[in-house]
Structure 1
Amino acid sequence: MNIPAHAPLHLLHTAAVGTLATHARQPEGFPYPSVLPFAPGLQHRPTILVSRLAEHTHNLHADPRAGFLAVDAPDGDVLSGQRVTLLGTFEAVDSSPEIVQRYLRYHPDAERYLVLGDFTFWVMRLERLRYIGGFGAMGWLGGAELDPLPPLAFDEENALIEHFTRHAGHVDGLELLGVDRYGADLKRDGARSRFVFDDAKLNTESLHGALEDCMQRYAN
């Protein structure tokens, strides 16, 4: 196994769309893949918003075990790009204000689906993952190995985003979607990007410093 440090974690923050593979009910047991948007949760696991009428939602109710594939191949060469396959179970979660707010930062167009009332959030509980980042950079990790550090709380993240928004006004079109101990998810002029910190940030002071560095680099 030779996986670059935190590479699968950052990939889950870079990709906006993934492939969900559930167990088909009919014909029973066959893999049923579907493509859908997702947002990384505070522990980097995929959060999805799905219709109660969708086939994959019915499948998850019958058997919550699933696979989830995220890919980053900006030049179209999938075999040379990064990809990570997650194995685990999906759990339906309440549409709390915190879940809704964070998901809509990543996918603002999803607000129209929430208005319909038949869409629900599901979050993946990760068991194992396999990351492939190119020749010689691949291997398996246990779910707990993705990130051993305690995640930021919703309130901590929101406070950092508010601070960033107040101080990044001089950087045109720059928006902070989410932040964690390893990096910041950004949007500028409609394009998503990931700003990777030089190391893990264990407290609020170091997170503020990392975001200040982020703003300075984007201002240049």
Structure 2
Amino acid sequence: MNIPAHAPLHLLHTAAVGTLATHARQPEGFPYPSMLPFAPDPRHRPTILVSRLAEHTHNLHADPRAGFLVVDAPDGDVLSGQRVTLLGAFEPVDPTPEVVRRYLRYHPDAERYLVLGDFTFWTMRLERLRYIGGFGAMGWLGGAELDPLAPLSFDEENALIEEFSRSRVNAGGFQLLGIDRYGADLKLDGVRNRFAFDGAKPDIESLHSALEVCMQRHTN
């Protein structure tokens, strides 16, 4: 195994769309792949918003085991780009205000689906993952190995986002989408970016310092 430190975790924050592979009901047993947007939850696991009428939603109700593929190949060369395949089971998630608010920061257009009342949130319970980052950089990890640290709570993340957003109110085109102990997800002039910290930040004080560096680089 030769995986750069935290590379799979950062990849899950870089991409906005993934491929969900469920077990088809008809014809039974076949893989059923479909592409859809996702947002990383506080533990970096994909959270999806799906219609109750969608075929993949029916498949998940019958068998929640699934694969989820995320790829980052900005130059179009998939074999040289990064990709990670997640294996686990998807579980329905209550649409609490915190879950909805966080998802809509990543996908604001999804609000039109939420008002229909037909869409539900699901998050993957991760069992294993395989990361490939180019020749010689690949390997398997257990689900718990993705991030051994306790995640930020919704309240902690929201407080940091509000604080740093207020301090940059004049930075047009800049938006903080999410914060975790390893980096920050940003939107700059409509384009999503991942800012990776120089290491894990186990406390609020070190997070503050890392976010100050992030702000200086992106809003000056």
TM superposition shift of 1:218: 1.1
SS in 2 for 1:80: coil
Q: 1: CA distance between counterparts of 2:156 and 2:219?
A: 25
* Structure 1 segment 1-220 matched on structure 2, within 5 A: 1-220=1-220
| Paired residue secondary structure (1:148) | coil
| Greater than 6 Å deviation, 4+ residue runs | none
The structural deviation recorded for 1:173 is 1.1
1:18-42 deviations in Å (ceiling 9; x for gaps): 0000000011000000000000000
Alpha-carbon distance, 1:93 to partner? 1.0
Q: Distance in 2 between matches of 1:114 and 1:170?
A: 31
Give the Cα–Cα distance (whole angstroms) in 2 for the partners of residues 137 and 202 of structure 1.
Answer: 27
Letter in 1 for 2:119: F
Could you tell me the TM-score, scaled by structure 1's length?
Answer: 0.99
RMSD: 0.6
Post-superposition Cα deviations, 1:18-74, rounded to whole Å, max 9, x if no partner, equal 000000001100000000000000000000000000000000000000000000000
Q: Which amino acid in structure 2 is aligned with residue 61 of structure 1?
A: H
How far is 1:194 from its partner? 0.3
Q: How far does the alpha carbon of each residue in 1:127-171 deviate from its partner, in whole angstroms, 9 at most, with x for none?
A: 000000000000000000000000000000000000110112243
Q: Secondary structure of the residue that 1:57 maps to in structure 2?
A: helix
Output the CA distance in 1 between the equivalents of 2:54 and 2:219.
43
Q: Percent identity?
A: 83
- State which drifts further: 163-172 or 58-67: 163-172
Q: TM-score, normalised by structure 2?
A: 0.99
How many equivalent residue pairs?
220
